A and B are shown apart, each in its own frame.
Chain A
């Protein structure tokens, strides 16, 4: 075998290229990296392996690191590498932590096993879509024509444009669309509000911020109003203690959502916990936990909850002692004195439910007409919930991504409070669900952390750009300012994407595409080419978290830190985000800006960052982790182990201290505010970030699109777009291992399909007045009639008529946020029919397991 031939074979076996076409001229990023491995010697032992040469784990270097995306979980990855090539990844086996050993997996220190997405990371690092060099656009915007340029040329271009835009259009002209896609670490953090980009643009003096979070703005708003904090979660091990678990729109079998959430829930099941799922789909979570499935019309959750509340109140099943002690505004007896004199604080929740104000008692029968759940089931569930202790009503984020989604989240909090399931182990106040608090910031954090000149609801940017200056402040949800610029509509002329694929991920993409053509600068910083990046003017290659030094922290559930050393050298010419921003700062404002942006760095940080990054991380560990959290392990010891698992004295339960020790809640009243003090005292809604009225107590509000809407005449199906299991939003969409496990397809109920003449595998078009997408259909009994399910995040692929051939649901969503800021991702009516239009999955389907029987080019 010639050396070239064996080299190609090696590449294929290591699967370093995205597609292994026998005749492919694949010499991508992976080929360069594979050089190290080609030299590798291997002994001829009397053992067979699937392929040779076969490097065994014990012959490779072992480096503990983690996955890095904003999926709500964070797990350990262990890189097994040869020289500078990661040969494979494994995960926590219990042996890396202090006093660990192979197989150690206790309730107190469980293994942090990575999911399928984390396990496929090697395909992302070495993908053909990897961005390796700075690129400048040469064709029309969106045409996808770029040329490779030097860093010098790319950065100078950006600097020149930034200066011009700021001096011409003022301090609101650059829109910060950073998100958590690239870097969730303590040092290299892409974050919507206080990340590295926000700091850079704020210090530069030109930044419009995007304030609403696509994932969960309904529940953050609700938790802040109700509890005064988004830290409303219990740690995942407490789920094992529940006697009843109501998964409201929650599918942890897809999202995982926490270190070991799904595993602890299995323990609960083994201990006799009963599970209920309220969801338009019979999800895998329902199957695993043998849940009672209650199918519900999308975006009618608050009505069903109101019906449950009515049953509980009218049968006097509420925990009145708990209400009297801890809750504001649940009933007449818990109303504050100031309420009757306030702008919106006259009503209490119980009287609303009983119909005292509007003459309409929110009975289970009333609710049933709205949500489609039989009244007897609403009663049965309400009775179960009110009489089982402890019971966890886990109100997930999905049903909140709706028109008036905050009412669903608030209504859930009211149920949790009236049954006294807050602050007790096995109960649940979530909500946001954030549990243990990690020390999260190692990068420079000071008065410059979050400077902004205007802030808008994130999905209103296109509306703002297209209609400027004829835009009302409430239309874009302007955040109030304390100076003369309050209420000024931002004149957006540029977008910065850091770790963000928002063009593919925000609502109503067709409107976004119209708006982006009007901008003067679009910068995309990412480690792979993304559908958004195609529309950029400048592509700046960012090294992945395998190629830079950091520490990972859980942000949702779990209590641990995982060290992330620089496992391999940055690929191509990629740089870290901080390197890029620091260099831009030096180029824009010389030593003053440069030093202020990155105080520990010197002028050559762009080329030498290791010592500075180490210094930031060590300082963070010693002055925050060790000092604040009383963790005794030294930085060097932590680096040696690669992981630190915090041992708790007792399971962390959200609001345990408030309930057990009487510590006040962080609200104005110190109580659980079912009547929100903040909302009750708002008189002029236009001057708030909400823009529009929000009731002070949870209420059912008819959404602008639902199966009860007259619009169903033209668009009879309700489309929901939940998170897929096989991507983190749009990340990993290009990984063939993951693509092999699923297809982008629309789920249709079997009786609907029969009526429409659809069978499995048919290609359909789904459309409404906002757009059209083409996908294959999956027919099943596991979906509610009238509901279509299309997972978010697939990479858009437009044909010449603007039809999306990939099946991205955000061509159908509406860019109208809920007053509190929730994205209405799941408030979509549409229609569906068989089509001759082509679906393009965007990858080589011929590679799938059963396709080798099909003729292909050998």
Chain B
């Protein structure tokens, strides 16, 4: 049993730790998503699979297929950008959490949230540049994609990936995704992966673990 003095010591230690700058976990291998912005038909089967897997009410959307369009009739174009949580190398959500509900796995760099520890201050939601943490108004807490860690630990892939009718969404070691060397049908033979597309927030903010095959109109110069 801890003495009164110990409690005080612990409190001091916690306080000191809380004041320290957060140093991100260096994962043994960082998993990330890859999405083909052009070949995605935008059906959102991945979104629905995710809602079903996570038992979500309408409102929170862990995965968001975003519809981008432009041009002037009849010379128009359209493409999709599909994002959930980017399991960032330097997650901004994590250090904002007052209860330590968010953590990054050493094994594969997945940023997981234990929503049962969440008190609903919504700080992580504000900090994420990509909108991954989703507030669930029915429970007054924040939840987010955990890349289906249970499926990954069981040797399978996340529900969204396994839902893709076009096979244009996949996961893999992020370095392989970025250098387009991942063996996946999500990438065509000549497709090159970009780390960023237009209208996506600055990746230097958190170094998101995601790669896209960008549309010609969505590529950054």
Contact = CB atoms under 8 A, between A and B. Distances in A.
A782 B146 contact: no
Interface string B170-191: 0000000000000001001100
A295 interface: yes
Given A262-B41, A262-B165, A288-B38, A56 B154 contact: yes
Given A50-B115, A120-B48, A284-B42, A260 B165 contact: yes
Interface in B141-175: 143-144, 146, 149-151, 153-157, 159, 162-168
A594 B73 CA distance: 62
A591 B149 CA distance: 58
Of the listed residues B49, B58, B134, B146, the one surrounded by the most CB atoms of chain A closer than 10 A to its CB is: B58
A740 B138 contact: no
A829 interface: no
A103 B163 CA distance: 12
A14 B134 CA distance: 17
A737 interface: yes
A56 B150 CA distance: 7
Given A89-B52, A116-B47, A282 B57 contact: no
A113 interface: yes
A3 interface: no
Interface string A710-743: 0000000000000001000000000011111100
Contacts of A858: 137, 140
Contact of B42 (A119, A253, A848): A253
Interface stretch (B3-11, B13-21, B74-82): B74-82
Contacts of A22: 137-138
Interface string B49-75: 101111111111100100001111110
A13 B114 CA distance: 15
Interface stretch (A437-445, A506-514, A818-826, A849-857): A849-857
Nearest to A92: B162
Given A48-B113, A93-B156, A781 B76 contact: yes
Given A47-B149, A114-B45, A741-B44, A270 B69 contact: no
Q: Identify the interface centre among B43, B64, B114: most chain A CB within 10 Å of its CB.
A: B43
B12 to A, nearest CB: 27
Contact of A847 (B40, B58, B185): B58
B103 A285 contact: no
Q: How large is the interface on A (under 10, 10 to 19, 20 to 34, 35 or more residues)?
A: 35 or more
A266 B41 CA distance: 10
Contacts of B56: 15
Contacts of A262: 41, 165-166
B90 interface: no
A852 B135 contact: yes
Given A57-B151, A262-B41, A270-B188, A88 B52 contact: yes
B52 A122 contact: yes
Nearest to A24: B138
A632 interface: no
B91 to A, nearest CB: 14
A91 B51 CA distance: 14
Contact of B58 (A114, A253, A282, A740): A740
Given A737-B58, A751-B73, A9 B164 contact: no
Interface size class of B (residues with CB under 8 A): 35 or more
Given A262-B166, A295-B74, A270 B189 contact: yes
Interface in A36-79: 47-52, 54, 56-58
B162 A93 contact: yes
Greatest chain A CB density within 10 A among B40, B144, B163 is at: B163
Nearest to B189: A270
A1 B52 CA distance: 25
Contacts of B168: 266
A508 to B, nearest CB: 31
A739 B45 contact: no
A105 interface: yes
B59 A263 contact: no
Interface string B76-119: 11110000000000000000000001010000000011111000
Contacts of B140: 858
A782 B76 contact: yes
Interface in A266-280: 266, 269-270
B56 to A, nearest CB: 6
Nearest to A749: B73
Contact of B48 (A56, A738, A751): A738
B143 to A, nearest CB: 5
A91 B162 contact: yes
B179 to A, nearest CB: 20
B139 interface: yes
B42 to A, nearest CB: 5
B74 to A, nearest CB: 5
A844 interface: yes
Interface string A652-684: 000000000000000000000000000000000
Interface in B24-42: 38-42
A849 B144 CA distance: 13
Contacts of B49: 90-91, 119
Contacts of B156: 93, 102
A54 B114 contact: no
Nearest to B114: A48
Contact of B55 (A14, A90, A725, A740): A14
A754 to B, nearest CB: 12
B108 to A, nearest CB: 13
A96 interface: no
Contacts of A122: 52
Nearest to B45: A116
B57 A780 contact: no
Contact of B73 (A56, A286, A781): A781
A680 to B, nearest CB: 40
A847 B159 CA distance: 23
Nearest to A282: B76
Given A48-B146, A116-B44, A262-B41, A287 B138 contact: no
Nearest to B62: A50
A21 interface: yes
A858 B135 CA distance: 14
A387 interface: no
A750 interface: yes
B150 A263 contact: no
A269 B45 CA distance: 22
Contacts of B43: 115-116, 253, 256, 725
Given A122-B52, A852-B135, A91 B189 contact: no
Nearest to B191: A270
Nearest to A295: B74
Contacts of A330: none
Given A51-B116, A782-B76, A785-B73, A856 B57 contact: no
B48 A288 contact: no
Nearest to A294: B74
A290 interface: yes
A102 B135 CA distance: 34
B76 A740 contact: no
Contacts of B185: 105
Q: Which 7 A-B pairs have the closest CB atoms?
A: A48-B114, A20-B57, A847-B58, A253-B41, A287-B78, A736-B58, A119-B48
Given A741-B47, A781-B70, 16 more contacts: A14-B55, A48-B112, A48-B146, A50-B54, A51-B116, A51-B143, A88-B52, A91-B49, A253-B41, A269-B39, A282-B76, A740-B59, A741-B44, A781-B73, A783-B73, A849-B60
Interface of B: 38-45, 47-49, 51-61, 64, 69-74, 76-79, 101, 103, 112-116, 134-135, 137-140, 143-144, 146, 149-151, 153-157, 159, 162-168, 185, 188-189
13 contacts: A15-B55, A22-B138, A48-B112, A48-B113, A48-B146, A50-B144, A91-B162, A93-B162, A113-B165, A116-B45, A119-B48, A253-B41, A851-B59
